[in-house]
Structure formats: C-alpha cells, structure tokens
Amino acid sequence: MSIRSLFLLLLLAAFSCTEVDENLSTSGELGRWEYFQEFNGNPIWSLFESSNGDVWIGTGVGVSRYDGSGFENYTVNDGLISSVVVSIMEDNNGDMWFGTPGGVSILTNQDFINFPNIGGLPADVSSLLLDEDGDIWIGTFNLGLFLLNSEGLFQLFDGQSIECNVIYTLLEDSEGDLWVGSQADVKRYEDNGGVRSFGIQDGLAGNSVTSIYEDSRGSFWFGTFDGGSITRLTGSDFDQFSLQNSLPQNWINAITEDRSCNLWIGTVVNGLILYDGILMRTQFEGPPDNTIYSMITDSSDNIWVGTADGGLAKYISK
C-alpha cells in the first residue's frame, strides 16, 4: 500500500469514527458500566431495541421490556408460548415477535398470539428478521428458513444437508441482501435472486456461523462455533483475525460496534474482547460473566451485554 493510500485510509477513519474509548473499566472518565441486578443468575438469550427506544430482553424465564425507568415482565403466565426467548423482532405494525423453542409468540395490544407450528410442524425458532420490504424471515433449528410475505408462507429447506437447516443467525445488509448463518456455512441471498455459499474453503474460521455483523465501513464479520478466530469479509477477501487469547477455540455468540468503531466480540467462556482496528483486548473488568449470549448497540450508542449467568449490563459512553 502506498503512503498516499494509507493517508487517505486514515483520514477516512478519522472522519467516520469518534475518539477511541480506551478506558472500559467500571468507572472511567470516558464511560461506565451499569448493572441490572434483576437478571442475576438468569441467561440473557436475546436483546432488541424497538422503534420507540425500549430495550427488550429475552431470558430463560420470559421477556422483559425496559423503558429507561423500569421493567415490565412477561412470562408463560401472561400468555407467552415458552419461557425461553432466543430472538426478538418488531413488525411494521409495532407488534413484538418472540422466537422460542416452542414456536413464535406475537405481542399485540398487550395480548399474545401464539404459533407453535410453522408450515404445519412444531418449530424450534432461532432467529427473526423484518427486512426493508416488510417481509419476515424466520430461522429455525429444525426446519430451516421460512419467508412470510403478502403472498404467503414459504419454506427454504435444503434436502441435501441437514446442517444447512440448522439456522443460527440472520442479517440484512446495507444492500438489502440476506445473510443466513447455519451449522454448515453462511449463505448470501442476493437481491437479484442469486444465492452464494461460503465456508472454511473460502476463508471462514469455521463452518458453523453463529453471528454475523456488518460494520460501519461495510465489512462483514463472522463468528463461529468451531473456529479459533474471527473472520472479516471485505469485498471478496476473507481474513481471519486471532483473538490473541492463545485459545484453540472461540465460540463467538455476538458481535457489535460502538461509535468509536471498536468491534465488541462476545464469546462463550472466553469473555468480552474489543478490537480497535489494531489490537484485540480481553476485557477482564466490566462484563458480569465470561459467557456472553447477546449484545446490541442502542440508538444512544450504549452497549448492552447479556450473559449466561451474570445477568445484564450496559456500557454507557460519555
């Protein structure tokens, strides 16, 4: 790379990101952690910010809504189809959808409508996504992928590979393409109707893709169950980045980004790792647990971190 190209790259980065937050301790000048004791000992499977700014928390005992001042909790006693909520989505009507091992629950006007079956079969739902066209995508652990739109319900099932029908995560990118992470690979459903599949033969760290994230620069990051590193796709080039923790396997459950363009990487057992574009740094202070199940960046640039046993935490940048 020429000096001129490097300068232009650094100049672009300077205008697209704010000053890097170097202090992520519990009480630093640049930010602080807030902990929610209500969820201690409870797994936080999913996090979602709705259009009105409320944060929804899917747990092992139901789902909770946080409006900035307090929590409203929903359980099976209120009509929720299952206690375990692993995915959350808001539709165009403002109704909230919850994906569970027992199917889908839809909360509308404080009432639940439940769908234990999808396409006539019991569904173990893993992921939910509303795309820019208003279509709803439903990923499952046992039935593959479903598309719900104005024309009906359609199943995308791979009869040649059982692993391809174990869906872990869904992402719609800035171009309107759909990314589907499964036990076998990651697929890109392009807006023009084409489908591309990527695996370890293309440069992924592992085939079981459990998290996908598009960063502010347009690169894609893939976390896997069976890889020791994290993978970045820029254009058509795959690159693997060591998490620099000397561990042979890093199960990456969640990826997000803060306003300083730091990448936050949540792992199982191995804790929270930040990547500032140069160094990977394990955060020993801050997260209440070393197993992280879910993370989001909210509209105020706060980072919400859901853990396996330590409950829920929020990092507030100043």
Structure confidence by residue, pLDDT tens digits, 130-151: 999 999 999 999 999 999 999 9
Look at residue 27 in the predicted model and tell me its pLDDT.
Answer: 39
pLDDT at 81 over 90: yes
Would you say the C-alpha torsion 140, 184, 169, 38 has a positive or negative sign? positive
Q: Which of 220, 58, 53 is nearest to 127 (CA)?
A: 58
Taking residues 150-171, report their average pLDDT.
93
Q: Please, which pLDDT band fits residue 31 given cuts at 50, 70 and 90?
A: confident
With a pLDDT cut of 70, the percent of the chain lying above it is 90
Q: How far apart are CA 206 and CA 168, in angstroms?
A: 14
- 28-317 CATH, one of 3.60.150.10, 2.130.10.10, 3.30.1050.10, 3.50.50.60: 2.130.10.10
Look at residue 25 in the predicted model and tell me its pLDDT.
Answer: 43
Cut 0.75: pTM above it = yes
Beta bridge partners, 252, equal: 267
pLDDT at 19 over 90: no
Taking residues 200-204, report their average pLDDT.
97
Look at residue 17 in the predicted model and tell me its pLDDT.
Answer: 56
Q: Please, which pLDDT band fits residue 158 given cuts at 50, 70 and 90?
A: confident
Q: How far apart are CA 170 and CA 180, in angstroms?
A: 5
